[in-house]
Each structure stands twice: as structure tokens, then as C-alpha cells.
Amino acid sequence: MIISGPTYIDGEIVSRYISIDEGKISSVERALKTTEEIFYWDGVILPSGTDIHVHFRDPGQTHKEDFYTGTRSAACGGITTVADMPNNDPPIDSYGRLKEKFKISSKKACTDYALYGLLSTNTEKMMELTRLFKVYLAGSTGVEKVTDLKDEANTVLDSDGFLAFHCEDEELFKGKGEDLVGYNKERPSLSEVKAIESLATWPEGKKHVCHVSTDAGFKAAKSLGYSVEVTPHHLYFTDEVILGPFGKVNPPLRGDKDHFALTEHFERDEIDVLASDHAPHTESEKMVDFSEAPAGLPGVETMYPLMMNSVAMGETALSTVVDMISTKPSEILGIKKGKIKEGFFADLALFDFREVENIMNERLHSKCGWSPFEGFRAIFPRHVFCRGEFLVKNREFIGSKGEGKNISLL
């Protein structure tokens, strides 16, 4: 297959012919003489996205999401690789549970995928299946905060594994909160900073701080040399947004000061990774008293489209978006994706800057059926390729269950 059009190469948009053979890019050329049919595109050809932080709730809570609906939603938003977190019910803290989850994902996933294990006393055995591990310094869905597992962390880091940390210090939590402003106060920014600073007592090695929500947290993580992840909801919302329990998330939405500071860090390309932290709950589960509502919201399908609209509005550089959504997260996972380059997988998202629209719940694909970004302007990809095959064609999902591959087998 050959795709031709304005192509993102090393920070620039240039006219190129992209030849694809056996799922990989075989050449990227200025001109091409061929009798083969060419797929021409007059928008922009970008590397598709890699989301290193999703919660597809499978197994255990598949009424909210599962690997089929989650990866379908991802694909329709231009994401062709996901890394799913281990706080399932029950948590993925053993070799047997991780193996079973890989079995489930292999039958359902439409995009490529990786799975995190929960750092535990079973870590060494689990490393036969994955090099990605999550550490919760505060409790979350299905898991309690980590105890003393620094030896296990050392095992992962010594083997060039990847440790991602949820950084909140439960000792500084004050209560449940009655609304978003109160929730922000009950889980204060200091809890994030203290948790990040505590990572200095863990074994040396690459550490990744998930969903940083405060300016002080960002600065603490950077000063200690950790990679930093930020979510779209922490960039777009403050605790004053009128979402009620639908905006309840951990760490909380913050005030104007932190919101504007994170936005500035993002626009300066100082953040390493943009990840959705897609953590859906059903509408009925959210439509309860705020203090009892579960924390988490969907976002894997809207992340890239929101950022593309930001580029179209002149608010964000295209290179910043591609770096944070595609190139850097692919590098973290150690996969040859995230660049349109010979030898890399042909994972592509074809956008048209003229196709701006309002996000509508009824057009999204997550099983949960709602989005906090409904009504926001966005640019969705018209076509999406994973390993050279259409997943989305003319905005219609045409992928199938089980087409996705475990990235460790690519």
C-alpha cells in the first residue's frame, strides 16, 4: 500500500509518498514511480497515538468498558496502542491473573496493547509477561496503597522495566468533599508533592509520575529527574467546572493557578507525555451524591481530537502534540511507533483541519456513554491505520475483535 499527502516528518509538514509492506513503513520518499494504486490524502498524515494510561475495566467491571469497546473508542480517536492499568477487580497482582488478562485482551482488542502488572510480591514471576508495573501510593479502584515493595521495584528497574506511580499521600487526605472545590481541598496539592518527593527513597532508575495535577508536583517531579504525564482533563478543567460528580477524578481537578501553570508547561513542550487516564463509570454510577460517586472519567477517544483543535486554533504547536501523544509514549513502551519513518510500524492518523466539530456523546464509542468534553470543539481523524491496515475509514470503525497485538510480540 502507498499513502501520499502532507506528512509530518521531524517537526515539519512535507509532501511524501509512504510505502507500506507487511505492516511497516518500507520507504518515505519525495517522489515515486509506481503502477501501484496510491491512497491520496489532502489533509495531514500524522503518526497515530499511543496512550500509556487507560483503565478498560476488563476483567471485573465490564459493564463500564471492556477491551473491545475501549480499543474501538481509542481507534476512533486516532489511538492505535494502549497500555492498560492493573487496578481491576480483583487486581492484577499475580502471574495467573496477568496471564488471564492477556488472554482476554488477545480475543477482544482492536488496537495493539500492553498490560501493566501491579507491583507486588509476585513481581519477578509477572515479569515473564510484562515489563510495565504500576505503584499506587494512595488507594484506587480495586487496590490499596502500596506497602514496602522497594525490593520488587529494584527488580523491575534493574531489568530495564518501567515503573509508573500514582502519587498522592493518603496521610494528608482530610475527607470526602461535597463538590469539586471541596474535593480539591480534601485531597490537597501537598499530598501530590509529598508523594512525589517520597520517590527519592525508592531504588534508583527510571520513574514515571502519572497524571500530575499541580504546578508544585510538576516541578518536584522534574527536579528529581522523573518523566511527567498530564491528562487533558487537568489541562481543560478547573474545580469550578459545572460537572458535579462527573468531574470527580483522582487526583482532583485543581484551581486556576495550577490549571494555568500546567497549560503553560504543556504549551512550552515541557511535559513528557499526554495520557487520557481513561477511567469510565456509567452515568448511573456517577449520578449519586458527590461524596459517594466513584472517581474517574473517560477520555481516550477525545484526547487527540481535542489537541488537534488546539493546534488549529494556534494555541499549541503540532510538534508538541505529536511528541506527547505519539513519539514519547511509544519510546517509553519501546515500540517502533510514533514516527513516520522507514522501519517503523505504519500506525497513522489522517486528519483534516477543516473538519472541526462539536464532541457529541452519541457519536462516541465508549461503553459508558458520556464524556466530560461534550460540546467541546475537536478534530477527529478521518482515517486511522494500525500496522498498515484500516481501523477507521471515513470516520467509520471497521476493525475487528482480536486484531490488536500484544506489543511484546510485535
What are 173-181's contacts with CB under 8 Å, separation 24+?
173/138, 176/291, 177/252, 177/290, 177/291, 178/290, 178/291, 179/244, 179/290, 180/239, 180/240, 180/241, 180/243, 180/244, 180/247, 180/248, 180/252, 180/253, 180/290, 181/239, 181/240
Catalytic member of 93, 272, 277, 323: 277
Q: Distance (Å, rounded) from C-alpha 313 to C-alpha 356?
A: 11
Nearest by Cα to 347 from 47, 15, 41, 16: 47
Residues 361, 284: Cα–Cα separation, whole Å:
15
C-alpha cell at 45: 498524515
Terminal-residue alpha carbon distance, the chain? 20
- 46's CB contacts (< 8 A; 6+ apart) are 8, 78, 322, 326, 340, 348, 349, 350, 351
Active site residue 93: no
CA distance 405 to 113: 6
Give the residue numbers annotated as catalytic, written as ranges.
Answer: 277
